[in-house]
């Protein structure tokens, strides 16, 4: 039997699960007056947000910045307002594969929400943006008296875990053209832009393959007039047809995104 306060928080999350953004972007700020655009921070009650607000430090998130090292101690949890962060598995030989991505719907350092302090994943900024970070110790202390925040972070962590599992299956079972289409669609859903500032080299790192393979797959999509590649950026020309070229994993992950209040970009 849940305590009354936790039952109230649970009902709050159930009611808002289809649209977690209960206040508009920019209506909340940190103590220094920086506007908040992260959906989790916009979804919790004023009481829980007020408890966390003094600990929110505004940060710029430049491209390729590593904010967590694989196997390292989690010092901060990051709540992006703009941009996108990749969660990457790094092998001993230096090879990498992306396990998931985080935009303004979520946060990095999900293990901190359940009392853990280390992660096997590297977190690296993939598309420049900004947001807020909170020291893990301060976050864990705040969660003791902020049940809605605790449930929101735990729920996000659970859904993110399912997405990571789907991505692992995708990387193993589907060809590079399908995976590239899926990745581009997921990225566009998070940054809400048809032009994605990414290179073939970086795509190869994220998809766990080499640059020539990515270039070949991108060339196929470009010949189908689904994307355009111009000067370090990929432009999605036809979202619906690109979705048809992606594997089933995009549809599955999009369902999970719906649980977080995200909407797919359909053009």
Per-residue pLDDT, averaged over 6-14, amounts to 42
Q: Domain locations in the chain?
A: 4-169, 174-259
Strands 227-230 and 195-196 turn out to be: unpaired
Q: Residue 6: is it exposed, middle or buried by C-beta count within 10 angstroms (0-12/13-18/19+)?
A: middle
**pLDDT for position 224:** 95
Closest listed residue to residue 132, CA positions, set 60, 58, 188: 58
Q: How confident is the model at residue 7 (pLDDT cuts 50, 70, 90)?
A: very low
Fold of 4-169: Jelly Rolls (2.60.120)
Could you tell me which residue, 4 or 94, shows the higher pLDDT? 94
**pLDDT for position 81:** 96
* pLDDT above 50 (res 9): no
Q: Residues 221-260: pLDDT tens digits?
A: 999 999 998 778 899 999 999 999 999 999 998 887 777 7
Closest listed residue to residue 36, CA positions, set 110, 134, 127: 134
Say if CB 151 and CB 13 are below 8 A apart: yes
Token readout for 40 is 């989790």
Per-residue pLDDT, averaged over 58-65, amounts to 96
Least confident of 36-40, 164-168, 260-264: 260-264
* pLDDT above 80 (res 19): no
Per-residue pLDDT, averaged over 139-149, amounts to 95
Say if CB 90 and CB 70 are below 8 A apart: yes
**pLDDT for position 22:** 58
Neighbours of 254 (CB within 10 A): 18
195 beta partners:
235
Q: Residues 175-204: pLDDT tens digits?
A: 999 999 999 999 998 887 778 998 888 888
**pLDDT for position 47:** 96
Per-residue pLDDT, averaged over 18-41, amounts to 82
Q: What is the CATH number of domain 174-259?
A: 1.10.10.10
Q: Residues 156-167: pLDDT tens digits?
A: 999 989 988 998
Q: How many whole angstroms separate alpha carbon 142 and alpha carbon 184?
A: 36
Number of H helices and E strands in the chain, helices first, is 10, 8
With a CB cutoff of 8 Å and minimum separation 6, the contacts of 123 are 66, 67, 68, 78, 85, 86, 87, 88, 102, 108, 109
Whether 174-259 and 4-169 are alike in CATH topology: the answer is no
Q: Which residue has the tokens 């009481």?
A: 47
* pLDDT above 60 (res 11): no
**pLDDT for position 261:** 64
Q: Residues 202-218: pLDDT tens digits?
A: 888 778 888 899 999 99
What does R_g of the chain's alpha carbons equal in angstroms?
18
Q: How many whole angstroms separate alpha carbon 79 and alpha carbon 235?
A: 26
- pTM for the model: 0.85
């Amino acid at each position: 039997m849940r305590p009354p306060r936790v039952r109230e928080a649970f009902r709050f999350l159930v009611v808002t699960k289809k649209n977690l953004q209960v206040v508009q972007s920019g209506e909340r700020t940190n103590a220094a007056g920086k506007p908040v655009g992260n959906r989790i921070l916009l979804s919790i009650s004023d009481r829980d947000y007020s408890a966390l607000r003094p600990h929110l430090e505004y940060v710029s998130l430049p491209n390729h910045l590593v904010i967590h090292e694989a196997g390292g101690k989690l010092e901060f949890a990051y709540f992006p307002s703009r941009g996108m962060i990749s969660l990457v598995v790094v092998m001993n030989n230096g090879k990498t594969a992306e396990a998931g991505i985080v935009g303004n719907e979520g946060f990095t350092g999900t293990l901190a929400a359940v009392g853990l302090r280390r992660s096997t994943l590297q977190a690296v900024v993939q598309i420049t943006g900004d947001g807020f970070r909170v020291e893990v110790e301060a976050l864990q202390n705040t969660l003791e008296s902020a049940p809605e925040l605790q449930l929101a972070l735990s729920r996000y962590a659970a859904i993110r875990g399912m997405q990571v599992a789907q991505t692992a299956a995708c990387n193993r079972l589907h060809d590079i053209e399908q995976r590239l289409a899926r990745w581009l669609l997921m990225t566009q859903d998070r940054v809400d832009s048809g032009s994605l500032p990414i290179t073939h080299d970086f795509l190869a790192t994220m998809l766990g393959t080499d640059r020539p393979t990515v270039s070949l797959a991108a060339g196929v999509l470009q010949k189908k007039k689904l994307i355009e590649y111009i000067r370090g950026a990929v432009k999605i020309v036809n979202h619906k047809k690109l979705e048809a070229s992606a594997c089933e994993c995009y549809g599955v992950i999009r369902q999970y995104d719906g649980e977080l209040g995200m909407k797919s970009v359909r053009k």
